[in-house]
Amino acid sequence: MEQQRSEHPSLVKPLRCIVKLGGAAITCKNDLEKINEAHLEMVATQLTQVMISGSSSSKVPGMDWSKRNGMSGISINVENYQELSESSSFIVVHGAGSFGHFQASQSGVHKGGLERPIVKAGFVATRISVSTLNLEVVRALAREGLPSLGLSPFSCGWSTRGKNIASANLSTVAKALDSGFIPVLHGDAVLDELQGCTILSGDVIIRHLAEHLEPDYVVFLTDVSGVYDRPPTEPDAVLLKEIAVREDGSWSVVKPPLEDNHVKMTAAAHDTTGGMETKISEAAIIAKLGIDVYIVQAATTHSIRALSGDLKGNIPDDWLGTAIRFAG
């Protein structure tokens, strides 16, 4: 049982959704610290289309005024910023992908033991890596005109006890939302009251945010079409279109019907956050709150429909993804 020290802030404007950018969807997971720039750019473009009113008919001015490679300077046309289109209230949380996992697994940060020099060094190295990715995600969103701010759980004072969230100050997140910004959080290395330190996954962060900020829906953007009954690379893997969560937290597959309702999960050897099994477990807890969760492949027409919130009610037959809902 988690013993959390966290407030339940009230927001000026209701939170439309929380979006999880899976690490494997925005990075090249088998290529150390390499961003999948095409996917990240497409995700940012889709978020702008869905979340900023009028963006489909006019170009939204960018907000990344940093010097980029190949540029001799920075040029800003002030006239473009006389008035900005209003954005829906939403939060982005991203995984680490090929950033952070290597550093954490090599040093054992997720197992704790800060008194060991290799763990302390790995803690620093992990935070450097995930913070680097966070900056690039924020820049990609800002280039598309989304007023994004990077917020690190460690720097915001989040901590764990036995790997469960023990303290999570949401005041900075709430103030950013109320000020019209889009908070961008990420999986992070944090201090743990029992074992010294651990890795706080983006999936756990999303569950905590959903519990306290109550979005209309949550979208997990991944590198595959959704949840399968076995690893999607295996022959005859079946996409699970809808999962129902019961009052006791257990879940079952509604569509398509499976003979034994058995689902086989795996996680990569270097993944210190639990992989798809953790994702479904956290999604089930969110769904139990009455918040629909959609797991869908990033940068596709199916992700646009999920991000738009158009999947309430019956799931269309032509939509590829997984909806996780409370059975009531």
- Give DSSP secondary structure letters for 242-260: EEEE-TTS-EEEEES--SS
**Per-residue pLDDT for 52 more than 50?**
yes
Is residue 93 domain-shared with residue 200, that is, in the same domain? yes
- Does any domain span residue 2? yes
230 and 300 inside one domain:
yes
In-domain check, residue 55: no
The C-alpha atoms of residue 152 and residue 141 are separated, in whole angstroms, by 16
Same-domain check for residues 30 and 156: yes
Predicted confidence at residue 29, as pLDDT, reads 83
- Whether pLDDT at 109 is above 80: yes
Is 34 inside a domain boundary?
Answer: yes
Is 110 labelled as part of a ligand binding site? no
Of 199, 215, 231, the one marking the end of a domain is 215
What is the chain's mean pLDDT, rounded? 90
Residue 247 CB-half CA count within 13 A:
1
Query: What was the pLDDT predicted at 276?
Result: 67
Confidence of residue 272 (pLDDT cuts 50, 70, 90): very low
pLDDT score, position 275:
58
pLDDT in tens, 312-324: 888 999 999 999 9
Is 176 found in the same domain as 111? yes
Quote the CA–CA distance of 59 and 104 in Å, as a whole number: 40
More reliable by pLDDT, 265 or 210: 210
Q: Which DSSP string corresponds to 269-318?
A: TT-TT-HHHHHHHHHHHHHHTT-EEEEEETTSHHHHHHHHTTTSSSPPTT
Residues 208 and 230 placed together within one structural domain of the fold = no
If asked whether residues 250 and 197 sit together in one domain, one would say: no
Which residue among 163, 195, 215 closes a domain? 215
Let me know whether 157 and 302 are in one domain: no
Identify the DSSP state of 327.
-
Residue 179 Cα distances to 5, 84, 88, 176, 326, angstroms: 24, 14, 12, 5, 32
Does 300 share its domain with 247?
yes
In a domain, 54, yes or no: no
Cis previous bond, 231, omega within 30: no
Q: Does residue 65 form part of some domain?
A: no
* CA 247 remoteness from chain centre: 25
d(CA 98, CA 299): 19
Examine residue 57 and state whether it is found in any structural domain, yes or no.
no
Known binding residue 226? Answer is: no
- What is the rounded CA–CA span in Å between residue 21 and residue 187? 11
Instruction: Tell me: is residue 208 an annotated ligand-binding position.
Output: no
pLDDT of residue 273: 45
pLDDT at residue 3 greater than cutoff 70: no
Residues 19 and 145 in one domain: yes
| Shared-domain flag, residues 97 and 236 | no
Q: Which of 215, 234, 253 is a domain's end point? A: 215
pLDDT tens-digit readout, 11-28: 999 999 999 999 999 999
> What percent of the chain shows pLDDT beyond 90?
70
Residue 108 labeled ligand binder: no
Q: Any known ligand binding at 275?
A: yes
**CB burial class (10 A; 0-12, 13-18, 19+) of residue 235?**
exposed
Q: What is the CATH number of the domain that holds 37?
A: 3.40.1160.10
252-261, 280-289, 291-300, 309-318 — most confident range: 291-300
Contact 87, 52 (CB under 8 A): yes
Q: Are residues 185 and 265 in the same domain?
A: no
Higher pLDDT, 234 or 213: 213
Residue 70 lies in a domain: no
Please write the tens of the pLDDT for every residue from 146-192. Answer: 999 999 999 999 999 998 899 999 999 999 999 999 999 999 999 99
The whole domain housing 281 covers: 223-328
Phi-psi region of 211 (alpha: psi -120 to 50; beta: other; left: phi over 0): alpha
Ligand-binding annotation for 262, yes or no, is: no
Residue 313, annotated ligand binder?
Answer: no
pLDDT > 70 fraction of the chain, expressed in percent and rounded: 91
User: Domain total for the chain?
Assistant: 2
Whether residue 63 lies inside any domain: the answer is: no
pLDDT for 291 equals: 97
Predicted local confidence at residue 211, as pLDDT: 95
Question: pLDDT at residue 63 above 90?
Answer: yes
Pair (27, 158) in one structural domain? yes
pLDDT tier at 48 (50, 70, 90 boundaries)? very high
